[in-house]
Amino acid sequence: MELLHHTLDNGIRLVHHRTNGITAHCGLIINTGSRDEKEKEHGMAHFVEHMLFKGTRKRKPYYIFSRLDNEGGELNAYTSKEETVIHASVLREDFEKAIDIISDMAYNSVFPEKEIAKEKEVIIEEINSCLDNPAELIYDNFEEMVFEGESLGRNILGTPRHIRSITRDTLTDFVRKNYNTTETIFCSAGNIPDKKIIRLFNKYFGNIPEKNHRSSRKQKHQYIPSTRIETRDTNQNHCIIGNIAFGYRDRRRFGLILLSNILGGQGLNSRLNMSLREKRGLVYNVESGYNSYRDSGIITIYFGTDSQNLEKSISIVNTELDKLRKTSLGTLQMHASKKQLKGYLARGYENHESLMLSLGKRLLVFNKIDSYEEICSRIDSITPSELLDTANEVFNPDKLSTLIFK
């Protein structure tokens, strides 16, 4: 895969992948998310992301919304625990419009007072929507339980109390302290010549003043496994079982990605889907997920079931975890599991919007981008004994936490 790299004097970096097709994609990834908030700033990063659409020095909100939508394109943004991302997908001939609007939103937003007041109500309704969705809420509550007292454990949206306390001054102060050019990636994918990409990159990002003052993100607390049951007015019982896990730079994360996929990945043949749903009909949805951060991570197993089947379902999950801890995968199982994972990876490479964002994040986190072949080689190098060691580390019964909504 041919990639174009370029770095501006202010530290903003570019990665571009030339593709065929009539559409193009681009995004700006800023190394600031909800874990960069102080306790009193809870919800600030997500609020800033919303306000990026609410007016710049040269555009009112309507013109931001309409700039690409009128051309059949799409403009969007999201906030994670560690990043703020603005991205767009457009027809190839509208590519410059996409770069223009993203640059304007990121560096010329004015945070109008009247828009702040309206957006507080919008975000509080977003929080209420999450509270009404136990299958979503339980993930937030589980991370809060596992990363207790840490910004990494706080949910991204904030609380109504924190949202109502936000002012224009606190927003601009948060941006000033946390949005650094030296930790910003512009990523793109499309049939755009290299010379044009570099020209547009310089035009829209070259005059941004350099900023670089990142504070430490290291966790301070000691993880203590726990079990919690919360009473909720739900039609199902919801359950998450999990543990802290490996960060981005830990080589064991590849083995854990493979284990998580075997256990409860997107395939219908995952062990938990077969044992809980297909064989016994105890659940509709069961899944395993692994999220890694710079210095830590979290592995989760989620399912929803009728109250009378809760204990039986937990027992089956523990049985499957016990198998992973005690029994090595055979040659055929290892081959099939690796091929499945590499197939998912290959499909992601064919989705140019997803690939574009993945390239940007990998450059931000690792300062390099491994090729598909290099990633597959790392997957192929995973051994049964490595998986067994990882399973015993992460799925140790004494280290697992459980959260149940009844």
| Residues assigned a catalytic role | 49
Which runs of consecutive H residues, i.e. helices, occur in 217-351?
Answer: 253-264, 271-272, 310-326, 331-350
Would you give the end-to-end CA distance of the chain in angstroms?
Answer: 49
d(CA 3, CA 73): 24
Task: Tell me the Ramachandran region of residue 72: left when phi exceeds 0, alpha when psi lies from -120 to 50, beta otherwise.
Answer: left
Please name the residue that has the structure tokens 């149940």: 404
Closest residue by Cα to residue 178 from 307, 76, 269, 44: 44
Please name the residue that has the structure tokens 């975890």: 321
3-state secondary structure of 344: helix
Distant-in-sequence contacts of 138-144, Cβ < 8 A, 24+ apart: 138/238, 138/239, 138/240, 138/302, 138/403, 138/405, 139/240, 139/300, 139/302, 141/230, 141/403, 142/240, 142/242, 142/298, 142/300, 142/401, 142/403, 143/298
Closest residue by Cα to residue 199 from 64, 67, 99: 99
C-alpha distances (whole Å) from 102 to each of 99, 156, 204 are: 5, 22, 9
d(CA 122, CA 56): 20
3-state secondary structure of 231: coil
CB of 334 within 8 A of CB of 384?
A: yes
Torsion of CA 120, 122, 126, 131, to 10 degrees: 70
